[in-house]
């Protein structure tokens, strides 16, 4: 993990069928441009025959720009049938956060952003409750209150989709947003829509996981940060963690302890996402 994002450098992320010579070709390409590798990660999935690469490249000694880099790299990408992108890491992306009544994940993300730890813009926060408005606005971030009535969610989500688009969201973070996201948004923001689930998935899928954990008498509780797909709680997992509980914990204690795990797991997941460390393939992730 690196804090180099603010230096002028490029990040290239690739996944493609595994073949001999990919690293050779990519790194030769970069070296010939006089690019210096700050961080370089590869993974070969031997079962699936699939290859993953993430390179951070210092451009201090390079004299081409991003567009030229893309243009010249395209033949290599085509040759190996790559899914790929290259990004100027100085350009901040737009993260729209959606929250409900609970403040802990949102407060944590806002503080990390405010203190400079999270390198992105937060163009707005959307919530179906009013109670967090003041906290959000203190950070200088617009707050949109969109109630989601039980009997007509469609209109509410049309409104939400509109707000998201108007703010040019690159990614959306569900910071304990307790509503099910409609398929249209899931599809449109596939791989860009992140949720925190308050259990160690696949344990305790669905509602009330802490109650279920309490009833089952587990000795650890956890949280799971994952990309949202149409299948509830089944999307690709980005990060997970657990905390120890015991018989002396009431359900309320579990909720309280779990909050800390949710908060830190979501923060790590969002960071990995912003640093393009997460590559999705099927229902699994590579996290460099």
Identify which of 20, 272, 205, 267 has the alpha carbon closest to the alpha carbon of residue 280: 272
Which residue, 158 or 220, has its beta carbon nearer to a second copy? Answer: 220
d(CA 39, CA 25): 17
Secondary-structure percent of the chain, ordered helix, strand, coil, rounded to 5: 35, 30, 40
One character per residue 68-107, x = contact with a second copy (rule: CB under 8 A): -----------------------------------xx--x
Judged by CB under 8 A, the stretch of 39-47, 67-75, 148-156, 190-198 that binds a second copy is 39-47
Q: Which of 18, 45, 170, 233 is catalytic?
A: 233
Q: How far is the CB of 118 from a second copy (least distance, A)?
A: 11
Among 5, 16, 38, 86, the residue binding a second copy under the rule CB under 8 A is 38
The tokens for 166 are 């108007």
* Per-residue x/- track, 173-202, a second copy (CB under 8 A): ---------------------------xxx
Taking a C-beta distance cutoff of 8 angstroms, is the pair 113, 107 a contact? no
Please indicate whether residue 260 is annotated as part of the active site. no
Give the number of residues in contact with a second copy, rule: CB under 8 A. Answer: 75
Is residue 207 at the binding interface for a second copy, with CB under 8 A as the rule? no
In whole angstroms, give the CA distance from residue 201 to residue 178: 17
CB of 37 to a second copy, least distance (A): 6
**Could you write out the DSSP letters of every residue in 138-207?**
HTT--EEE----TT-HHHHHHHHHHHHHHTT-SEEEEES--SPPPHHHHHHTTTTEEEEESS-TTTT-SS
Tell me how far apart the terminal alpha carbons of the chain are, to the nearest angstrom: 9
Residues in the chain: 288
- Residues of span 236-255 touching a second copy by CB under 8 A: 236-237, 239-242, 246-250, 252-253
Q: Residue 47 or 207: which CB sits closer to a second copy?
A: 47
Task: Give the nearest distance from C-beta 149 to a second copy in angstroms.
Answer: 26
Calculate the alpha carbon distances from 10 to 30, 73, 88, 131 in Å: 11, 13, 5, 40
Report the residue from 39, 161, 230, 276 that binds a second copy according to the rule CB under 8 A: 39
Subset of 107-166 contacting a second copy (CB under 8 A): 107-108, 111, 114-115, 117, 134-135, 138
- Return the active site residues: 233
């Amino acid at each position: 993990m690196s804090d180099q994002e603010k230096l002028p450098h490029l990040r290239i992320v690739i996944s493609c069928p595994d073949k001999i010579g990919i690293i050779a070709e990519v790194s030769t390409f970069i070296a010939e441009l006089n690019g210096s590798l700050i961080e370089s990660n590869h993974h070969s999935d031997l079962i699936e025959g699939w290859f993953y690469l993430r390179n951070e490249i210092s451009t201090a000694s390079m004299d081409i720009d991003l567009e030229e880099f893309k243009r010249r790299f395209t033949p290599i990408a085509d040759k190996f049938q790559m899914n790929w992108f290259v990004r100027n890491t100085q350009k901040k992306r737009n993260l729209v956060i959606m929250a409900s009544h609970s403040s802990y994940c949102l407060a944590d993300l806002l503080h990390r952003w405010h203190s400079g730890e999270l390198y992105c813009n937060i163009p707005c926060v959307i919530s179906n409750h009013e109670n967090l408005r003041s906290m959000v606005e203190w950070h200088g971030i617009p707050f949109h209150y969109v109630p989601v009535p039980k009997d007509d969610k469609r209109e509410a989500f049309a409104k939400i989709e509109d707000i998201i688009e108007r703010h040019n969201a690159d990614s959306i973070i569900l910071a304990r947003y307790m509503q099910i996201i409609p398929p249209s948004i899931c599809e449109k923001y596939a791989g860009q829509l992140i949720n925190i689930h308050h259990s160690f998935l696949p344990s305790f899928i669905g509602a009330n996981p802490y109650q279920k954990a309490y009833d089952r008498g587990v000795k650890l509780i956890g949280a799971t940060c994952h990309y949202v797909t149409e299948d509830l709680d089944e999307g690709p997992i980005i990060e997970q963690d657990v905390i120890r509980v015991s018989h002396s914990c009431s359900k309320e204690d579990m909720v309280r302890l779990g909050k800390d795990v949710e908060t830190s797991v979501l923060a790590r997941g969002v960071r990995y996402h912003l640093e393009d460390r997460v590559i999705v393939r099927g229902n699994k992730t590579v996290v460099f």
